[in-house]
A and B are shown apart, each in its own frame.
Chain A
Amino acid sequence: MRFHHSLLALALTWTVTAQAQPTAEDIVARSLEAFYYAGEDQRARVTMRLINPQGKERQREMTLLRKNFGGGGEQRYYTYFHEPDDIKGTAFMVWKYPAREDDRWIFIPAIQLVRRIAADDKRSSFVGSDFTYEDVSGREVADETHSLRGEETLAGRPVYRIESIPKTKVDYARRVSWIDRQRFLPLKEEYYDVRGERLRTFNADEVQEVNGYWTVTRRTMRDAQSGHRTEVAYDEVEYNVGVTEDLFSERYLRRPPQRWVR
């Protein structure tokens, strides 16, 4: 409950003292909420284009289902791959917990096998893209120390500039994010290594209001070192459509729910 209570408290504080400057932690918490937790549930058809420095492209098409459980930050994710042909029918399920390691399962259609997969490294690449598992399903406020570096304008939007330093050793040493002051979506993020060299850049290329929720519908992650990039389009985004709990089970890993996966 910790997660949502703090948000509720934050929202109340906001109303009472509208003029007061929120802390960096508050801003990041609200940003994570807007980016990863919008609505009670979500369905989207997602296209990922993996583009190497020579311009050669690979593509992944998937249906993404997500449901929030309670107010504690617990979520479940279901991903079904439509393309490419070689992995078509593969389904991937995550039960995400805020305070401990996620449970992950994968269904491999060629041998009709549901297998639990080790989930230790959230910084591993998601299906070969420039996004990590953590980029796809979220991190926690307390994983980093945050400081507010200023208020600016980015592409015509008012933003907070936040600097975040990971508390434990991960593949980046510093992250700078530009967070929309009104919608709280991250519009840009830059990851740096210990020498101050830029590693990756995230860009929100298109933001739209869907069912009352501001949503990043086009995004890009660029690997500054290799020149590889991943462009993601969220199409057919819907919120609060009644995704039920039983969907996140072995049954539907094996046979995708036709109503949602199309």
Chain B
Amino acid sequence: MNAICVGHRSAGCAEALAEVAVLHRPSVLLTASLLLWIVKIEEVLAGGLDLGGFVQLHGAVRTSGVDCPPETVCDVPFNEQRLRLSAEGSGLAGAAGFAGKLDLIHDAALNKADVEVRELYADYNADRYTVRGGRQIITWGVGDLLFINDTFPKNWVAFFSGLPLEYLKLGSDAVKLDAFPAFADLEVIVARFRQDRRPDARQFVIASPFPPELPQDIEEPSAPEVNVRLARYLGSWDGALYFSYTHFRAPALQRRGDIVQGEFPRLSTYGASLTGPLWNGVLSLEAGYYHSLEDRDGTDPSIDNSQTRLLAGYSREIAHDTTVGVQGYAEWMHDYDGYRRSRPPGYPERDRLRTVATLRFTQFHRHQTLRLSLFAFWGLSEGDGYLIPSLRYAFSDALWGELGANLFMGNRNGQFGALGDNDNLYATLRYAF
């Protein structure tokens, strides 16, 4: 089924598959897709085919004592069972390759079935360049859960629900060229727009500036996005330059009569990063300039202003199997006067400078079968915070389980504090095959 989708726009295929999934019993779909999957791949590849996957159960209970609005799933906002089917293979003596990861999801919280094409791409490897075409996950930059030059699509719902970290990243439907001239590694990506998945009223209790009953008309851009990265080793340091001609991944919303209209404005980003050894640890530096192309003077209240973003991080192993990482992050809004003048009444005023600090603590026990972890965001300027403690245990090579929490605190107008009614305790169990 997915091999059929290769020639088309993958996102469209994903939507089509999702519709099929809703119409049919998941077990029928599962069998059909599995068979087609194997048959199609066998045709393409002479050998070297690798099949696998996992079954994953994930649920989270809301721990904030709150009266949810009727449209929100209140007590157990996340409860899903997921079957991952994956296949990869290579041929032509390593010159050609292929990979696909398909998730069949039963979402018991929202009472629906879904199919998600996580990745589906073909590779061509030449001596001096490689090409990857199809849906692919792309991660840029050196930040730890703080993104500057990584403007690729993300799934914040998955992240706030405690799903494994890989689900924070959504695949891009893109063609990626990597070339390896002597002076640097060059990466050029041409991608279709894909929006972030953001918290919505079905699973989150969040304040919205618009009445929930108003219909929303949100238009996705069709123009392509271009991303360029140039990277090289500078002695023991890794340096990189980044450029993206992209879009904001959250819509700029405006009320027009009895409808909320939204579009994704154009954005250009320019940036650089440097990471390397310092005092027996790793220092990471990243900077970026966000040029808000459709709000150049900062007076359109629905579109984010241009920004400069800076990040410095340091991580070090402080004892056996124990690593600590800290980061400082700053976001400087340009055209602040324009923003203040045009801010509609009733909206909380944002600071010109937004600062965040993070802490990561990871410790392994019992031959790395038990992992204790804490990630903390501290909104320095906004006076809020977000804590993610977790405990993961590997029962065997195939089976692991994780218990954790997502805890939001502080100022309700801050980026983390705004999610204050959505504290949860989550559990995940994954069996790989």
- The chain A residues found within 8 Å of chain B, CB to CB, are 50, 52, 56, 58-59, 83-86, 88, 95, 101, 103, 110-113, 116-121, 123-125, 127-130, 171, 228, 249-251, 255, 257-259
**Shortest Cβ distance from residue A228 to the other chain B in the assembled complex, whole angstroms:** 6
A200 to chain B, nearest CB (A): 13
Q: Mark B392-415, 1 if CB is under 8 A from A, else 0.
A: 001011101000000000000000
Contacting pair B398 A111 (CB below 8 A): no
Chain B positions 9 through 21: 1 when the CB is less than 8 Å from some CB of chain A, otherwise 0: 0000000000000
A82 → B minimal CB distance (Å)? 9
Contact A118 B316 (CB under 8 A): yes
Q: Is the beta-carbon distance between A111 and B165 smaller than 8 angstroms?
A: yes
The complex places the Cα of A96 from the Cα of B318 at a distance, in Å, of: 20
Is A84 within 8 A of B398, CB to CB?
yes
Is there contact, CB below 8 Å, between A117 and B282? yes
CB atoms of A128 and B364 under 8 A apart: yes
Is B433 among interface residues, defined by CB-CB distance under 8 A? yes
Quick check: A101 and B277 within 8 Å, CB to CB? yes
Q: Are B280 and A101 in contact (CB under 8 A)?
A: yes
In the bound complex, CA of A124 to CA of B398 (Å):
24
* Residues in B132-190 with C-beta less than 8 Å from chain A: 136-139, 142, 164-166, 168-169, 178, 180, 185
Please, how many angstroms separate the alpha-carbon atoms of A124 and B365 in the complex?
A: 11
Across the interface, do B282 and A118 meet the contact criterion of CB distance under 8 Å? yes
B282–A116 CB distance below 8 A: yes
At the interface, yes or no: B368 with Cβ under 8 Å from chain A?
A: yes
DSSP class of B's interface residues: helix, strand, loop or mixed?
strand
**Could you give 29 example pairs across A and B, Cβ below 8 Å?**
A58-B396, A58-B397, A84-B398, A85-B398, A85-B432, A86-B397, A86-B400, A103-B276, A103-B277, A111-B137, A113-B139, A116-B238, A116-B275, A116-B276, A117-B282, A118-B281, A118-B317, A118-B323, A120-B280, A120-B318, A121-B319, A124-B320, A125-B321, A128-B369, A249-B185, A255-B97, A255-B125, A258-B90, A258-B94
Chain A residue numbers with a CB within 8 Å of B142 are 116
Residues of A within 8 A of B165 (CB): 110-111
Q: Hey, which bits of chain B sit against chain A, CB under 8 A?
A: 52, 54, 90, 93-94, 97, 123, 125, 130, 136-139, 142, 164-166, 168-169, 178, 180, 185, 231, 236, 238, 275-277, 280-282, 284, 315-321, 323, 364, 367-369, 394, 396-398, 400, 430, 432-433
Question: What residues on B are CB-neighbors of A251 within 8 Å?
Answer: 130, 178, 180, 185
A-B contact count (CB 8 A): 108
Task: Name the CB-closest residue of A to B276.
Answer: A116
B319: which A residues are within 8 A, CB to CB?
A: 121
B275 A255 Cβ-Cβ under 8 A: no
B367–A118 touching, CB < 8 Å: no
Q: Is B280 in contact with A228, judged by CB distance below 8 angstroms?
A: no
Please give, as numbers and ranges, the residues of chain A lying within 8 Å of B275 by CB-CB distance: 116
In the bound complex, residues from chain A placing their C-beta under 8 Å from that of B317 are 118-121, 124
Among B130, B136, B168, B400, contact of A112 (Cβ-Cβ < 8 Å): B136
Residues of A within 8 A of B180 (CB): 251
Known interface pairs A85-B52, A111-B169; A123-B320 also in contact (CB < 8 Å):
yes
A52 and B367 form a contact (CB under 8 A): yes
A250→B130 CA distance, assembly (Å): 13
Report yes or no: A103 in contact with B166, Cβ–Cβ below 8 A: no
Chain A residue at minimum C-beta to C-beta distance from B400: A86
Task: Verify B367–A228 contact, CB threshold 8 A.
Answer: yes
Q: Which chain A residues border B281 with CB–CB below 8 Å?
A: 118, 120
CB distance from A199 to the nearest CB of B (A): 13
- Select from chain B the residue with minimum beta-carbon distance to A246: B180
A259 and B367: CB pair below 8 A? no
